[in-house]
Amino acid sequence: MILVVGGAGYIGSHLVKELVETEEVIVLDHLSTGHREAVDSRAIFVEGNLGNEAELQLIFKRYPIKAVMHFAAFSLVGESVIDPLKYYENNVASTLTLLKVMLENHVKNFIFSSTAATYGIPTVDMIDEKTATSPINPYGHSKLLIEQILADFHAAYGLNYVALRYFNAAGAHESAKIGESHNPETHLIPIILQQLLGHREKIAVFGSDYETPDGTCIRDYIHVDDLASAHILALEALLSEKKSAAIYNLGNGLGYSVKEVIEMCEKVTGIKANVEMAERRAGDPARLVASSEKIFSELGWKAERNLEQIITDAWKWHQNQLY
Ligand code: UDP
């Protein structure tokens, strides 16, 4: 059985939908940002907090858990700057409690949701896992701290782990039964699609004077179902003992500017966007594009869905958003 912590969230719920095909799954989520409706009905659902040691002990005693996948983090960069305690408490302290209870119960396989925010403002065009990490906000720091803890626990206690550094997760399950639903929504693609649906008056482009060809920020958008399949491969690699400690980037290897993303949304939907140029948003690097060569060569994973597919699936979801 696999414990998926944060399995009611955006990325976790997509992973669960794929994982239930081959494994028994238990989801732990406190539903502060996740959605109960997003959890596949084939998974066992427990409402609770990963920082609650007694609750975790009960779960590990009751179920034969062989691996833990951990998605339950706060992930808004701006909020992390304003309220770092919230981030260090949940993303670091509660994760440490989870790891401690795992080790006490002899569960030694862990898959961790990390982030491109660990790189800070990289000086290279294609970021690979050897690129220096230097976070510029508490969110990125909180994730990098856990990566360090995992390396130390691997060396000291034999904890096996894969940390996956996501670039810009986007899109929705092809069934359109689950998708992205944040409140408030801060991410670019849902904001554009909400505007095209008439739920917002305009789209503010945060900065048009970056050192990029059209002046807007470039990001690497990766379909949430491609992220899910990477987790499945990472889990197989741990369970088969092919890997015992690894960090991988997960991206498409392609960069799209904010303007290009808006244009693609207009193309997919056939609707013209109402766009205004705005000030830069604090903490945004000009360009974040991943090399995912390492996970391709070691686990055979690569992104299957391009930006057009991402937006096509996201559009299906947003037109009939279920939660
Ligand atoms: N962005 C924007 N307007 C918005 C939301 C986002 O111009 O309303 C830009 C943002 O500055 C960044 C890119 O879109 O350059 C992707 O932002 P998002 O918040 O989706 O993801 P992040 O890169 O922060 O993880």
The whole-number pLDDT of residue 249 equals 98
Which positions are catalytic?
A: 139
The mean pLDDT value for 115-136 works out to 96
Residue with tokens 């981030």: 87
Ligand 1 pocket residue status of 293, Cβ below 6 Å: no
**Residues of the chain with pLDDT > 90: what percent?**
97
DSSP codes, 258-280: HHHHHHHHHHHH-----EEEEPP
DSSP codes, 44-67: EEEE--TT-HHHHHHHHHHS---E
The whole-number pLDDT of residue 159 equals 98
pLDDT in tens, 189-202: 999 999 999 999 99
Cis peptide leading into 213, omega within 30 of 0?
A: no
The whole-number pLDDT of residue 96 equals 98
Distance 187 CA to ligand 1 centre (A): 6
The mean pLDDT value for 50-60 works out to 97
Identify which of 188, 191, 218 to mutate to test ligand 1's pocket (most ligand atoms within 8 A of the CB): 188
Reduced to 3 states, what is the DSSP secondary structure of residue 210?
coil
Q: Is the pLDDT of residue 128 over 90?
A: yes
Rounded Cα gap, residues 2 and 16, in angstroms: 10
CB atoms within 10 A of CB 209: 11
DSSP codes, 63-103: S---EEEE------HHHHHH-HHHHIIIIIIIHHHHHHHHH
Distance 188 CA to ligand 1 centre (A): 5
Rounded Cα gap, residues 31 and 26, in angstroms: 15
The whole-number pLDDT of residue 307 equals 98
Return the minimum-mean-pLDDT range out of 82-91, 219-228, 262-271, 275-284. Answer: 275-284
Atom 16, ligand 1: residue with shortest CA distance: 188
Q: Is the pLDDT of residue 283 over 90?
A: no
Distance 195 CA to ligand 1 centre (A): 15
pLDDT in tens, 136-177: 999 999 999 999 999 999 999 999 999 999 999 999 999 999
End-to-end CA distance of the chain: 27
Atom 6, ligand 1: residue with shortest CA distance: 188
Rounded Cα gap, residues 78 and 109, in angstroms: 32
Question: Relative to the CA of 170, which ligand 1 atom is closest?
Answer: 20
Helix (H) or strand (E) holding 249: strand 245-250
Atom 11, ligand 1: residue with shortest CA distance: 206
Q: Is the pLDDT of residue 188 over 90?
A: yes
Mean of the per-residue pLDDT values of the chain: 97
DSSP codes, 119-188: G-S-SSSSB-TTSPP--SSHHHHHHHHHHHHHHHHHHHH--EEEEEEE-EEE---TTSSS----SS---H
Atom 3, ligand 1: residue with shortest CA distance: 205
ipTM above 0.85, yes or no: yes
Question: Relative to the CA of 281, which ligand 1 atom is closest?
Answer: 11
Radius of gyration of the chain (CA): 19
Ligand 1 pocket residue status of 188, Cβ below 6 Å: yes
Rounded Cα gap, residues 283 and 28, in angstroms: 31
The mean pLDDT value for 223-238 works out to 98
The mean pLDDT value for 239-254 works out to 97
Ligand 1 pocket residue status of 284, Cβ below 6 Å: yes
Using an 8 Å Cβ cutoff, are 39 and 24 in contact?
no
The whole-number pLDDT of residue 222 equals 98
The whole-number pLDDT of residue 282 equals 83
Distance 162 CA to ligand 1 centre (A): 27
Q: Is the pLDDT of residue 135 over 90?
A: yes
